Amino acid sequence: MSQHDGELVIINLTFAGKNSTPAQIAYFRKVIVPEMQKAFLKNGEPYSLEKTENLILSFCPEGIEEIEKNGKYQKRVKELEELTRGELSKVIDGIKRIAAENYGYLLPD
């Protein structure tokens, strides 16, 4: 028995060398976010860059963390810097697909 029986414990693991690269983060923030902001604006949704970033991260499973607490799920949008290289690549690919399919907007490579 421990002193913390019944308490929620969250452990975050970070693996060295697996973090997203500065180039990926720059591409996401300097290209993807502003372009999606334009796509949203064309559809009558004027969002700030910060809101756009949070929103598009929430579109992809890799961009959110779900924690079960008391039989319910709580969702948290991850910070961009928390994503691994692979996760950020999947987010970028997913956002490109969403932009094309739902907004008729092609994002540059």
Per-residue pLDDT tens over the stretch 6-54: 665 555 444 445 889 999 999 999 999 999 999 999 989 999 999 999 9
Instruction: Give me the pLDDT at residue 11, please.
Output: 54
Please give the full DSSP string across 61-106, using - where no structure is assigned: GGGEEEEEETTEEEEEEPPGGGSBHHHHHHHHHHHHHHHHHHH--P
Q: Is 108 helix (H, G, I), strand (E, B) or coil?
A: coil
Q: Model's pTM, two decimal places?
A: 0.78
State how far the Cα of 78 lies from the Cα of 90, in Å rounded to an integer.
14
pLDDT in tens, 56-96: 999 999 999 999 989 999 999 999 999 999 999 999 999 99
Going from the C-alpha of 85 to that of each of 1, 25, 70, the distances in angstroms are 39, 10, 32
State how far the Cα of 7 lies from the Cα of 96, in Å rounded to an integer.
40
